[in-house]
Amino acid sequence: MFWTNGGPGGSSAIGLFTELGPCRVTSANSTERNPWSWNEYANIFFVDQPVDVGYSYAEYGEAVTTTQEAANDIGAFMVIFFEHFTKFRGRPLHLAGESYGGRYIPVFASAIYDKNAELTAAGVAPINLTSVMIGNGCTDFSTMLLSYYDAQCADPTLGLPISDISSCVHLKQQMTRCEQRFKDSCLDIFDAIDCRAAFNVCVAATDAHFKNPNRNYYDRTRPCTGMTSTNDCYPIIGHMVDFLSSNTTQDLLGVDPAKRGPFHYESRAVFDAFQTTYDWYAWPAPFYLAALLERGVRALVYVGAADYICNWIGNERMTLGLAWTRQEEFRNQSLAPWLVDREVAGVMRSGGGLTFATIDGAGHFVRVF
């Protein structure tokens, strides 16, 4: 299994040391075993990408500015990986990621799938791409943007709406205008300047109401008054940064001198580069996901029910909007409870190779927090 965090510019050390890796960081110099590690069931490698994220670097100043460019690097990396680690050849490969990984993973998987034709022609065993997994993804910003009204004012899963009536009425008016502007500038015809303007106006409108009570973007049920950074709400992130910044850890990992010193769990340079190229809006990641389903690559979209920033409502709408030949097998299914130890853990819909599931009691970072 391949794992990447999102951002763009987020380090996969977050997934490794705070979510699904074999151990969790508890302080600047200590860890504890994670009994719920995905490593109990699969061989996982955590990749910091694009270049400049985490400990990664380029020797000659190369930069990655779009998901498409990143996909080229990941496709090449996967070929090299299986060329050198021959014992894994032919085993099922699953690509997984969260948040902006909802845009990364469909494009990365498509690059790997298409590269198999080259490998076969060269007499090399193809990569056995089996499934993709997207956790709390922002795969489609057109559906996610409009879902921010629902997440504040019309989500029955969390009880009463979290915003007051006057705010919800104002927000509903804004969303009607936003939907039209986004459709005109980002979907029907992509105009980079107008699309960004529409996006910024709509996000500002939803943020104004959501930020007012200092709510947590990553978990609507978890107060985080005065939040100025992710560390404020989730101290484990600070522990991870201290752990990966220490000389002892960097010595053990053999970190290159070019990246020695304080560890950064997000790269602002990568984030800004992706903003500059309009990567958020320009690449139709749902089209790639539908194309993978068409070719028999299974997909799981799972979402912590309390997440706001990449919430379950927007993700469900994205999955229902996918177009492939077996789409009705998925759409015709109603959401139904799924169980863990006979207790309801969320709701799900599955059909045509696609599964959508919510996870009760979880926010954006499903495993850890």
Q: Is residue 366 part of a domain?
A: no
Tokens of 269: 């340079």
Phi and psi of 325, rounded to 5°?
-65, -20
Q: Is residue 210 part of a domain?
A: no
Q: Is residue 97 part of a domain?
A: yes
Q: How far is CA 77 from the centre of its chain?
A: 20
Q: What pLDDT is stored for residue 356 in this prediction?
A: 98
Q: What pLDDT is stored for residue 188 in this prediction?
A: 85
Q: What pLDDT is stored for residue 224 in this prediction?
A: 72
Mean of all residue pLDDT scores within the chain: 90
Q: Is residue 340 part of a domain?
A: yes
H/E element, 147? helix 141-153
**Integer Cα distance of 228 and 38 in angstroms:** 31
| Beta partners for residue 31, in sequence order | 25
Q: Report the b/e string of 118-138 with b at 16+ CB within 10 A.
A: ebeeeeeebbebebbbbbbbb
Q: Is residue 328 part of a domain?
A: yes
CA dihedral (78, 79, 83, 84) positive or negative: negative
User: Is 232 one of the annotated active-site residues of the chain?
Assistant: no
pLDDT exceeds 90 at position 293: yes
Q: How far is CA 119 from the centre of its chain?
A: 28
Q: How many domains, in total, are found in the chain?
A: 1
Q: How far is CA 127 from the centre of its chain?
A: 23
Quote the percentage of the chain above a pLDDT of 70.
Answer: 96
Q: Is residue 189 part of a domain?
A: no
Q: Which of 52, 140, 219, 307 is catalytic?
A: 307
Domain span including residue 13: 2-140+231-359
**Integer Cα distance of 314 and 169 in angstroms:** 20
Q: What pLDDT is stored for residue 51 in this prediction?
A: 93
User: How much is the average pLDDT of 299-307?
Assistant: 95
Nearest to 109 by CA among 209, 24, 1, 36: 1
What pLDDT digit, counting tens, does each position of 82-135 carry?
A: 999 999 999 999 999 999 999 999 999 999 999 999 999 999 999 999 999 999
Which 8-state DSSP code applies to residue 61?
-
Tokens of 7: 């951002």
H/E element, 136? strand 129-137
Helical H segments across 263-335, by residue range: 268-276, 279-282, 285-294, 312-321, 327-331
Q: Which of 209, 239, 264, 364 is catalytic?
A: 364
With a CB cutoff of 8 Å and minimum separation 6, the contacts of 144 are 138, 310, 311, 314, 315, 318
Which 8-state DSSP code applies to residue 125?
P
User: How much is the average pLDDT of 148-167?
Assistant: 85
User: Is 184 one of the annotated active-site residues of the chain?
Assistant: no
Q: Is residue 192 part of a domain?
A: no
Q: CATH no. for residue 6?
A: 3.40.50.1820
User: How much is the average pLDDT of 4-27?
Assistant: 93
pTM (two decimals)? 0.93
How far are the Cα atoms of 32, 89, 126, 183, 305 from residue 118, in angstroms, in the given order? 43, 16, 9, 37, 41
Q: Is residue 105 part of a domain?
A: yes
Tokens of 46: 């955590």
What pLDDT digit, counting tens, does each position of 205-222 carry?
A: 787 767 666 678 888 887
Q: Which of 12, 99, 110, 147 is catalytic?
A: 99
What pLDDT digit, counting tens, does each position of 158-206 carry?
A: 777 888 898 889 888 888 888 888 888 888 888 888 888 888 888 887 8
